[in-house]
Amino acid sequence: MTLVVGLGCQRGCDVRTLLDLLDAALAEGGIERNRIAGLASIDLKRHEPAMLALAKELNLPLTCFSAGQLTAYEDRLSHKSDVAFIHTGCYGIAESAALALAEQLAGRPARLLITRKKTARATFALACAG
């Protein structure tokens, strides 16, 4: 089974915030870090220092998708954020990015295993395929 983490964050978010959110969500789901195949987000976050630092810390690739690619997953989101849409052009970055990467890696439909988890500065979701 392919497991992928989708992430979103505010500009200037620190890596500890992302790591704490990821670890808490994985622990709640009973999933070990080493089962994660990759990290995904929107292309607007491609150069975000916290995203790059997290990918390096976990030794995982970070794959970023355009808002247009992510809108294909709108009907599968557990939550649609008007604020996210205003800033990015899509209604849910973490969930849609996780679904997009899981399907890309596995070559088959994915589903959300952990729906959107949110802190004041970041969002997390976990998708699986296979």
pLDDT tens, position by position, 42-85: 999 999 999 999 999 999 999 999 999 999 999 999 989 898 89
**Topology of domain 2-129, CATH:** Nucleotidyltransferase; domain 5 (3.30.420)
Residue 12 one-letter amino acid = G
Q: In this structure, how many other beta carbons lie within 10 angstroms of the beta carbon of residue 68?
A: 10
Return the SS3 of 63.
strand
Under a CB-based contact definition with an 8 Å cutoff, are residues 15 and 59 in contact?
no
pTM over 0.75: yes
pLDDT level of residue 114 (50, 70, 90 thresholds): very high
Torsion (CA) 38, 47, 100, 56 in degrees, nearest 10: 0
